[in-house]
Structure 1
Amino acid sequence: MLFRQLWPSLSVLLLLVGIGLREPAVAAVGALVLFAGGLSHLWSRLALERLEYRRQLPEHRAFVGETIEVRYSLSNRKALPLPWVEVREYVPDSLPALDAHAAPSARPGSLQVDRSTSLAWYERVSWRHRFLCRQRGYYPFGPALLRSGDVFGLFPVEGEAPARHYVTVLPRLADLPELGLPAERPFGEARSGTRLFEDPSRILGLRDYRPGDPLKRIDWKATARRRALQSRVYEPSASLYLLLALNVDTFAQSWEGYDPVLLERAVTVAGSVARWAEGRRYAVGLVANSSVPGADRPITVPPGRDPDQLTRVLEALAMVAPFTIAPLASVLAETARHLPMGATVVAVAGFPSEGLTDRLERLARRGHPTTLLWVGDEPPPACERVRLYNLAAVMRRIEREWLAAGGGPRRAGAPVSPEDGAQREEADPIRRWARPT
């Protein structure tokens, strides 16, 4: 605006002309313009001082189909009132706002939500918006642009609130029977070549008591029935390892693009198996021939039985991108060196990538119970030693059911069944949602 550049000169000129011509009115106008311009300029310079913008995400994780609520607050922590303040918040374009208008923005992958308000001295205003988690992924909220100024709007100033908050949208999950897989031992009997460690949560059978057996190993009910001391025999912990191998390839060549339906099928199946395995106290891990944002290495979650292990696996699956880092056969060849004897390997694929079947057959010959879960629309590859499940038809049916039932979004952390509701006292919402039914 031209006035912003010329007001000092114009006001001084009017003041001098009025004094020289002995015209009090002209001089008064010049003085008024000089005073108002100076006050407005000082007001604008102080407008963003001690102006505090906050964003809060009560839930940093949610499943596809849920809604998340984001809370905002704007605080003026000074004695200078602000007649107008404009806030421009950048939100992910894959999470549509349910109660606000989100306009296109110049930032890739973001929409902008604008809000205007005024703030008295030491006043605080707050508001909230709800967003639908329509697609899995790892999404940033922010930054935000703040704009304010003097009461006349002559000298607007802008600033940025650079803080960002992230939400991870986890993939849809299904129970194994819903996928057409047996609920018990769907991947065969776990085997172990060495019995160095035992898992007390899985009883293999009973035997007669031997001197030196700890008292906690004795099964007192069986002892009463047989009238002789009976000790429990536990399964070796090596048989409780399960490695998920996710194949991101959906076409032969990367320049052909990718099939989003096949990729989401594979991610859903992998996450569902991880939830099942965690419920059976497997030390579950994940490898995928894709990478997380900002990395150039294949996704790897080492097998573990930590209480947060399922969370790590689901978060890694949420970040799976449709870009291949290396063939899954190569990733498995590197990972297999660190697998314990007898560990179970479950591969999920929708495209017969080169060398994948041969690598799985080799793992099976080495003593690893190996399974291929096929989600592609094309016929699956032939397997000899590898257990094969063709889940394509089941996944098409599930997709139609999800599409038909997708009318109402759910709040993050809210139960979807009485069984889930019984677990609401647990602190972590992931543990509630990921618990097998």
Structure 2
Amino acid sequence: MRGVIRNAIFRITSRGPRRTLPLAIRKLRIYILPTSRGYLFAFVILAILAGSMNYNNNPGFLFAFLLAAMAMMSTLYTQKNLKELTMVSEKHAPVFAGDRIWFDLALKSHTAPRYSISVGFQDEEIVTRDIPAGEAVTFRLPLCTKKRGVFKPERLILSSTYPFGLFRTWVAIRMESDYLVYPKPIPHPFVVSEDTSTGDGTGTSGRPGTDDFRDLRTYQPGDPLKRIAWKTLARGQGLWSKTFESESGQAVYISWEDIHTTEREEKISHLCHLVMEAHRSGVPYGLKLPGITIRPGEAGGLAHRDRCLTSLAMMA
């Protein structure tokens, strides 16, 4: 019965508005129900009352009423333990389909310490921590992904059974944020189209060579680690990246037409793998998709890589 009631309340809260951060829990509707321990506690009180009535035992009545008063007061402390919290911020990073999104949620108590606060998305792993007064504590929550595109998580649930575990209080929150999931990379031979002056090159080539050293250039964030001139850094001459003769030639295109498979999702996954390989190799590369052409960006640029992966993730 308790599970049926809780599921009915979850369905009601799922129709509520989406929330943005920061968010004070006191502004939300807070629910509370007895736990299994609470039902057992109530049964014990009723048993004591029944025995006291049967034997006309006044100390028994006093003890039963004392336990009942303690249980009723615990409802106030259980709700207060959750109500005084504030959701400060959250952050996450895009992942590939099938991987976990790690959702970092910061909670803060501006008044007194809060104990045994449990946080987790519905049907996902729950994390329980204490929150000291005046400090923000980060809860690192996992979210499982199955397919590429925009991922909308289930309700975020904050709950507590402090202090006695007789009642469980919780809030169910629909987060405003949507999360981007990249396609799952599937290995594919590195075959790409060369860029010509018109941008319509038809030749193909294997992975461009990187054996002929050209010169050094200032390190740029996102440059592959294997391109860093470690010996120069060890001599105290600063952080530099190596460039090669192949980089001064034509850029390459990763093209939708170069993947010969009839499965659309498999083709997208192959293209995702090629983008990752091109980024790791440090060659200038572009991406050709139906109706979309992304010109080659700077070799090794994270922003360019993420733009290509986002285009693949958002393909209809």
Give the TM interval when normalised to the shorter protein: 0.3 to 0.5
**Structure with max Cα Rg:** 1
Please report the TM-score for the alignment, with normalisation by the length of structure 1: 0.35
Task: Give me the TM-score of the superposition, normalised by structure 2.
Answer: 0.46
- Where relative contact order (Cα < 8 A, 6+ residues apart) is larger, the structure is 2
